[in-house]
A and B are shown apart, each in its own frame.
Chain A
Amino acid sequence: MVSVPTIAAIRFGAGLSPHRPAPVDADALYTSLSVEAQPSFPPQPWGARLNLLQKRATLLQASREETATPADRAAFAEAHQALRDTSFSDLRHSIAELAYAGTGFHERLTRFWANHFATMGMGGALLRTRSAYINDAIRPHVTGRFSDMLRAAVLHPVMLVYLDQFRSVGPNSAVGRQQGRGVNENLAREILELHTLGTSSTYTQADVSQFALLLTGVTINPQNEFLFDTRIAEPGIIEVLGQRYGARLTRLDHIVQALDDMARHPDTATHIARKLARHFVADTPDPRLVAHIAAAFSQSGGDLMVTCRALLEHPAAWENPMAKTRAPLELMAAAIRALNIPRDGFLALPSRRTRLELAEPLQQMGEEFESVPSPAGYDDSAPYWITPQALAARIGWVTALVQRWPDGPDPRTFVDVALGDAASDALRRAARGAETRAQGIGLILASPGFNRR
């Protein structure tokens, strides 16, 4: 039998640690949400990131002029490096938020929502901005309201570019009539299909088209900041999902109203509940668990603390432990946590080593940093991560980690540190049978047991 604290740490948290006690029960996990709501490693604010990107873009332009001097090119190289450094610092922070957390439940939720509202920076102007987007749009709302997160995520410049909203023009708006430009349905479709109601809902193509019309006006300015531009906004009353929005002149609050209504839609509650249960508990979660979470989501008006409590308090959330697999970054953080690798040294890793030791291995394991495979995010099924290629990369990474960490513990005790009572007899035997301590540690970290959660 796997104990409740072990399930709490591995299924909902960042994993077991030799120095941080496992959360004793659901209450301990729930309480940790408020404690861990503020990031331990404060990220660069979005505005500062935009400034960095703008500076880089300007210097890139200058370095390509006919009159460009070596100094111009050096200035661009420096700005580009500054962007890389900041982005790699984000990567170390996102691993550290798990590895050095009390429980890590808040950060696990942050990752869940970041994947739900999956996006990434497209083009040079928003290069390497997925992590910054998560910090700006997702993280502040993980213990808040779904409607607030929805608004922050889908109206974020990174999302507006990724899903082509900035190309969308109301055909009857001033600009649309003048230039004959039209609507782009991408963002509208994904909001309905992925972010709110879900594919099992009954919205129609007409809803998508109408919602796309309603969203016109939402765009970015040349500085890549959010802009509501009335000159491209489709005028008139627009009906989406049976509700009428807009006016002779559409305003941003009409769009916000539509988003709020979608957040409140019963299908959204079920969609979110199923995804949460699927992410944390099982590929095919118990329908009673899903219904329980959906009810809490609905009744609380999308209060995510209440929703999380519903997830944690249902007995089905504690059954069949280790049914899921750790995503690559979760594996890294869990290994660093179990080995108790010193925090300050990890945070101070220079960019080059961050790339070689973290970013490239993540890509090989299938979770490329600052990137998502599609607007639907990473698939959230257990087998998704376990391909031969990705598994080879996991084995390679833990082997290299252990080699860089020669003063590792004894594998026979490390089994308990890393997996507690979730360690299988086979793993205990194998750990004893390794040729060296380092190999034993590597074996434990590469084992199926440690790669499950």
Chain B
Amino acid sequence: MADRMNRRQLLTRALALGCTAAASPMLTPVSFAALPGERRLVVIVLRGAMDGLDVFRPLGDPHLAALRPHLAQENTPLPLDNFFALHPALSGLMPLWHAGEMGFVPATSTLYRDQRSHFDGQDHLEAGTAGTLPPALQRDGWLNRLVAQLPGAQARTAFAVGRERMLILEGQAAITQWSPGTDLDLSPQNRLLLSYLFDNDPLFAQAGQIALEMTTPGTDDDEDDMPAGGDAAGLGRYIAQQLLAESRIASFSLTGWDTHRDQHRALLPALGRLQDAILALRDGLGDAWGETTVMAMTEFGRTARENGARGTDHGTGGALLLAGGALRGQRAIGGWPGLADQDLYAGRDLMPLSDIRAYPAWAMRDLFGLPVSAIERHIFAGLDMGDSPRLFL
């Protein structure tokens, strides 16, 4: 169910719609007391396979320059510690790094190996299952399974934003989905008449009223401004508003990471969008940033060697970016496998040192207080969470 109203608007609507609203569970105001706490989790799915080696460049690794004769010379990175340096297109995140509000896992991945298909890789990342994927019909996403484990979760607790399919939030638990930027240019009279027609048809009444409400441009008297499609900062602001209202979990995709050619240029727009989204989330959340964790994860990494077109091809180990006000950041988490020939996966890719699911799993335990056994059984079947990476302060 899609819907973007905040609580205040919901109350207004509930009054305005009278008995229609009273009969509709979706428009019934929810009690804040029932909400699963104040902690917030945002998962950004970086579709297309982000090159972690370029984003968190391991300058301290002696093999980098030989593997990437051109790419390692481009886009002079900003030192993070005495080993890694950050891609300059993310320079806006440096204040977060210095404040301990950003960290990263340089070499991790799903359990998906060797086929290196974006679609299958993303399905693995979002389904969060071990071994072969369940049949497409039975697939659901791990964030949805998390919602199912949260006491007091409502449809609006979890929010999938954007037009793309978000398997990560699909499943049995009710969630909310909405694409920003769908204002409708209807005259007030036309809205009134349509609203009258929808109200006259039970099947359309609820969906119709919400659709009209959500698509009315410029009626919002406060912070609810809807961004256009490709505007990552707007997306971040919009999600921040939802997280300040009833939502606690949100997920959206950023694309543009599949840099087979001229990566020194091709990666810049995607990184710019990622930075915009994270900064807009932080700014929009205000004090709630201290309760928020952002995880940006990608389906797999890219080849350790650059290819003939100064790009990189589909690989295995990749990076996970973490940000948030309560993070124990300013560090690379989970070790470094090295880039010597014998250290690479299949002689070509960065070796993943962990099952990427362990990080959201520990975040779930630490943020939402879920027991390790419930996470390993119901959310990430087949995962051994291992030792805590102690993500939070």
Contact = CB atoms under 8 A, between A and B. Distances in A.
A64 interface: yes
Interface residues of B, number: 41
Most buried by A among B137, B197, B203: B197
Interface in B273-301: none
A376 B182 CA distance: 29
A443 B197 contact: yes
Contacts, number: 117
Contact of A396 (B177, B184, B203, B204): B184
B135 A375 contact: yes
B1 interface: yes
Nearest to A394: B211
Interface residues of A, number: 46
A68 B309 contact: yes
Given A389-B211, A396-B182, A448 B2 contact: no
A123 B204 contact: no
Interface in B182-237: 182, 184-187, 189-190, 193-194, 196-198, 200-201, 203-204, 207-208, 210-212, 214-215
Contact of A388 (B135, B163, B201, B214): B214
Interface stretch (A3-11, A108-116, A289-297, A429-437): A429-437
B354 interface: no
B308 interface: yes
A433 B193 contact: yes
A387 B193 contact: no
A415 to B, nearest CB: 12
Contacts of B3: 388
Given A325-B203, A374-B137, A389-B2, A430 B193 contact: yes
A340 interface: no
Interface string A307-337: 0000000000000000001000000000000
Contacts of B177: 389
Contact of A448 (B184, B189, B203, B214): B203
B260 interface: yes
B261 interface: yes
A364 B182 contact: yes
B255 interface: no
A446 B204 CA distance: 11
A452 to B, nearest CB: 8
B205 to A, nearest CB: 9
B211 A391 contact: yes
Interface in A381-425: 382-383, 386-393, 395-396, 399, 424
Interface in A216-264: none
9 contacts: A67-B308, A123-B119, A388-B1, A388-B2, A388-B178, A391-B207, A392-B182, A426-B196, A443-B197
Interface of B: 1-3, 117, 119, 135-137, 163, 165, 177-179, 182, 184-187, 189-190, 193-194, 196-198, 200-201, 203-204, 207-208, 210-212, 214-215, 260-261, 307-309
